Amino acid sequence: MTTKRLVDEQALHQKHYAEICEKLKQDPFAQFLGIKLIELGEGTATAEVTVAEHMLNAHGTAHGAIIFSLADFVFAAACNSYGKTSVALSMNIGFLAAAMKGNRLVATATEEKKNNRTAWYRIRVETEHGLVATLDALAYRKNDYFVEIDENE
């Protein structure tokens, strides 16, 4: 019979903080969109993007895809903040208000509950004018870590 070793994920986050941040900042799609990671905590993340002309829909407001992409990025950052590879299982977004060209969209993800296999997050996307969207997301936490774990962790 094998026993699973528990990993202190808070210690892992703190020890590998710079490496985890750098990996998340290298997300090619987020870079393409101009999304910037502002803050990363244990199970939390904040990022921003400024709505540009090419991000507008036919009505002249921010396309839902840019709002969703920003929310998805902070979700990914928050659920991978412990250095454990995590991927989305489900996401549900509610669009509450329009954002316009030049608006700075800021998204914040907060971990609501986490266990070894899954974690649940709430995400808020806001502009200087108020709440634009909310998103509930469920992550699947894989077995592997993308940072090195030594026997003391």
Per residue in 63-81, pLDDT (tens digit) is: 999 999 999 999 999 999 9
pLDDT at 152: 58
Task: Please provide the CATH number assigned to the domain covering 9-145.
Answer: 3.10.129.10
pLDDT at 47: 98
**Tokens standing for 19?**
């490496």
d(CA 134, CA 149): 34
d(CA 54, CA 37): 21
- Which residues of the chain fall below pLDDT 70? 1-5, 151-153
24 burial type by CB count under 10 A (0-12 exposed, 13-18 middle, 19+ buried): buried
Place of tokens 């829909």: 57
pLDDT, the chain, mean: 94
Place of tokens 């993800």: 109
- The region that residue 133 occupies, defined by phi over 0 for left and psi between -120 and 50 for alpha, beta otherwise, is beta
pLDDT at 2: 44
pLDDT at 110: 98
Place of tokens 């990993």: 7
Q: Which residues contact 83 (CB under 8 A, 6 or more apart)?
A: 9, 12, 13, 16, 19, 20, 145, 146, 147, 149
